[in-house]
């Protein structure tokens, strides 16, 4: 939840209206709109407490694609200087890797595949 609140605080600081969703809302942790409420976006937040080279995103990331749906991937949310990657859902869907293990399946996205989206808060447009 720390990553969700860090992302919400950052978006709010930029001037957006931000509301966390209830914990059982599938696919969206934040609802975001501009000041005039003319544009609405959804945000799924994935966070790593320590800096890591990947995030677990879940199976739904492959199919949940919309021009108004974004991922904010937070790296190092337990430290003083968290890193944020603002990634369109279409990119996450395309870059998500399925990792098959004998007793489990993991869906992840690698830092090296989304590094270009570091601090790309402009993806949300103007508040």
**Domain range list for the chain:** 2-124
* 49: CB partners within 8 A, 6+ apart: 2, 76, 77, 78
| pLDDT score of 35 | 94
At the second CATH level, the architecture of 2-124 is 3-Layer(aba) Sandwich (3.40)
pLDDT tens, 3-54?
A: 999 999 999 999 999 999 987 677 899 999 999 999 999 999 999 999 999 9
CA–CA distance, 26 with 28 (Å, rounded to integer): 6
Closest CA to 2 of 92, 107, 89, 77: 77
CB 61 within 8 A of CB 33: no
Q: ∠ at Cα 94 (93, 100), nearest 5°?
A: 80
pLDDT of residue 111: 97
Q: What is the pLDDT of residue 34?
A: 95
Eight-class DSSP state of 61: G
Q: To which H or E segment does residue 110 belong?
A: strand 104-110
Residue 114 is predicted with a pLDDT of: 97
Q: pLDDT tens, 61-110?
A: 999 999 999 999 999 988 778 999 999 999 999 999 999 999 999 999 99
Task: Please tell me whether the overall predicted TM-score, pTM, comes out greater than 0.85 for this model.
Answer: yes
**Among 13, 25, 8, residue whose Cα is nearest residue 60:** 25
């Amino acid at each position: 939840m720390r990553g969700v609140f860090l992302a919400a605080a950052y978006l709010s600081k930029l001037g957006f209206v931000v509301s966390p969703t209830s914990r059982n809302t599938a696919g969206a942790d934040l609802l975001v709109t501009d000041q005039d409420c003319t544009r609405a976006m959804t945000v799924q937040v994935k966070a790593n407490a320590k800096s890591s080279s990947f995030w677990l995103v879940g199976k739904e990331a492959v199919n949940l694609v919309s021009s108004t749906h974004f991922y904010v991937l937070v790296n190092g949310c337990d430290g003083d200087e968290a890193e944020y990657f603002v990634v369109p859902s279409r990119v996450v869907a395309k870059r998500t890797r399925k990792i098959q293990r004998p007793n489990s399946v993991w869906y992840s996205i690698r830092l090296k595949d989304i590094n270009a989206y570091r601090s790309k808060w402009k993806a949300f447009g103007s508040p």
